[in-house]
Amino acid sequence: MKVGIIGSGGREHAICQSIKKSKKVRKIFCFPGNAGTDEIAENVSLELENFEIIKNFILKKGIDLVIVGPEKPLVDGLVDYLEKFKIKVFGPNKIASQLEGSKIFTKLLCKKYNIPTANFGIFKNKHDSKKFINQNNFPIVIKADNLASGKGVYICNNKIEAEMAIEEIFDGKFGKAENILIEEFLNGEEMSFFTIHDGDLFKTFDTAQDHKRVGEGDTGKNTGGMGAYSPSRLINKNLEKKIIDKIIKPTLKGLAEVNSEYKGFLYTGLMIIKNEPYLIEYNVRMGDPECQTIIPKLKTDLIDIILACCEKKLNKIDIQWFNKKSLCVVLCSKGYPDNFKKKVEINNLDKIKLNSNDFLFHAGTSKNDGKILATGGRVLNLVSLSEDFSSSKKKIIDNLEKLRWSGGFYRRDIGYRVID
C-alpha cells in the first residue's frame, strides 16, 4: 500500500521509519518531510493550508492511507475534508481537535464533566486579566487559548512576569488572541499519557516524561520539548485506572454529546499530585519528542494498529512493546526558543554510530546539494533503548559529543529524575 504522512518534524520521521518496516507498505510520501524522511520516503512540497492541492495529490498518486502528524491541519479540519472524498485518514476531526485547538474549550468541558484540573479564569482583555492577577497569589499559570507550538504557556512567579505574559499574548505573539486563560499553579510532577482511539474504543499507548524547559534543571523558557524518557516513573495500575475513569472517559463522553467521536492518538498531559491525576492539557496527536521516544519500543506493526483504528477494529489488535527503557535528547539551534540562524550546515553526522537500539530522527532539517542544513529550532533527536535509562543517556551523549556541532546545543540532564 501507499502511505502519505503529513508533517516535517521528528515525530513524522519516527512514524515514517516505523511504518517503513511494515510488509504492507511499499511507498511512503511525506508532505513536506525533512532531510531524514528524504532517505526513506519521497518528500513532496505542498501547501498544507491548501486542502484541495493535498487531496488532488493523494488521489493522483493512489495513496491508500494518510497519517496527519502535526496539530494545525487537524484543528483546521483536514481530516473532515479528506473524508468527504472517501480518503482513509488517521487523525481526529475538527470538533474533536478543539481539545488542543482551544484550551478554553477543554477547560469548559472539564468543568461540565467534573474532570480534575487546575482552577481557572477566562478573560477577554488586558485590563480584566491584570485586575485578576492582582487578586491572586503567585506562582500562577497564564496560557494563550490558541495553538502556540508548545510555547504559549507562562509560569509566572510575580506580577511583573504575569503582566508581561498578558501583554505578549494579547499583542499577538501566538496569533490573534480573543481570550486568555489564567490558572492556579499545580505543584506536582508532570506525565504524558497516550491513548489510541478508533472512534468506538481506545487502548493505552505507553507513557513518557517530557522536559519542556530550555535550561537544565527544568529552568528557563518553555519549548516544544528538549527531550523525554519512557516509561514515566510515576505510572502504576492504580494511577492508570484513575486517569482513564476520571479524565479520558468523561472527555470522550463530552465529545459524544457534541456529536463527535475520537479517532487517532490522544496525548493527555497530566500533573500528578500524591498519585492523583490532574489534566493540564490535551494534544490531539502524538507528542514531540515523546513520539520519537515511544515508537521505537513498539513491537506490533504500527500500520496494523492505524488501519484497525480507521476501520473501527482496534479491539482485534494486541499492542505489544519491547521491555526497554527509552530516552531521547533533542539537539537545538543556538538561540532557540528565541531567534536562531537558519540554513546552518550540520557537519560530522557520519561520526554518529547507531546500533539496532539507537535512532537518529531529523526534525528541522533540509538537504541542499548533498549538505544537511538546520532549518528549525529543534534539529535532531537522538534516541536510545537500553535496560536502564543511564545506559541510554550515555550512548546518546557520546554520539552528541562526536558530532561537535557548533551551531547547536542540548540539555545534558534529560531523565535526571530517573538517573542517579
* pLDDT exceeds 90 at position 372: yes
Rounded to an integer, what distance in angstroms lies between the CA atom of residue 121 and that of residue 134?
Answer: 13
pLDDT digits (tens, 9 = 90+) for 151-163: 688 889 999 999 9
CATH code of 119-184, in short, is 3.30.1490.20
Q: What is the pLDDT of residue 388?
A: 96
Domains 119-184 and 189-316 share a fold: no
Which residue carries 481539545 as its cell?
Answer: 99
Q: What is the DSSP letter of 186?
A: P
Q: What percent of the chain lies above the pLDDT cut of 90?
A: 87
CA–centroid distance for 226 within its chain: 12
Residue type, 78: L
Dihedral angle over CA of 257, 261, 265, 266, nearest 10: 0
Q: Of 278, 339, 309, nearest to 65 (Cα)?
A: 309
Q: Which residues pair with 90 in a beta bridge?
A: 67
Q: Any idea which of 181-185, 190-194, 391-395 has the lowest mean pLDDT?
A: 181-185
Question: What is the pLDDT at residue 150?
Answer: 61
- % residues pLDDT > 70 (the chain): 99
280-307: average pLDDT: 97
pLDDT of residue 148: 62
Q: Evaluate whether 291 touches 15 at the Cβ level (below 8 Å).
A: yes
Average pLDDT over every residue of 25-35: 97
CATH number for the segment(s) 2-91:
3.40.50.20
pTM: 0.93
Question: Are 373 and 343 contacting, i.e. CB atoms less than 8 angstroms apart?
Answer: yes
Could you tell me which CATH number the domain at 325-409 has?
A: 3.90.600.10
Instruction: Read off the pLDDT of residues 305-338 as tens digits, 9 standing for 90 and up.
Output: 999 999 999 999 999 999 999 999 999 999 999 9
Per-residue pLDDT reduced to its tens digit, 333-348: 999 999 999 999 999 9
Please report which confidence band the pLDDT of residue 6 belongs to, taking 50, 70 and 90 as the band edges: very high
**Strand, helix or coil for residue 197:** strand
The mean of the pLDDT values for the chain is: 95
294 against 404, higher pLDDT:
294
Question: What is the tens place of the pLDDT at every residue in 109-146?
Answer: 999 999 999 999 999 899 999 988 888 889 999 988 87
Domain boundaries, given as residue ranges, for the chain: 2-91, 119-184, 189-316, 325-409
pLDDT band at 149 (very low <50, low <70, confident <90, very high): low
**Class of domain 189-316 as given by CATH:** alpha beta
Q: In whole angstroms, what is the distance from residue 372 CA to residue 125 CA?
A: 45
Residue 352's pLDDT band, with cuts at 50, 70 and 90, is very high
pLDDT higher than threshold 80 for residue 177 = no
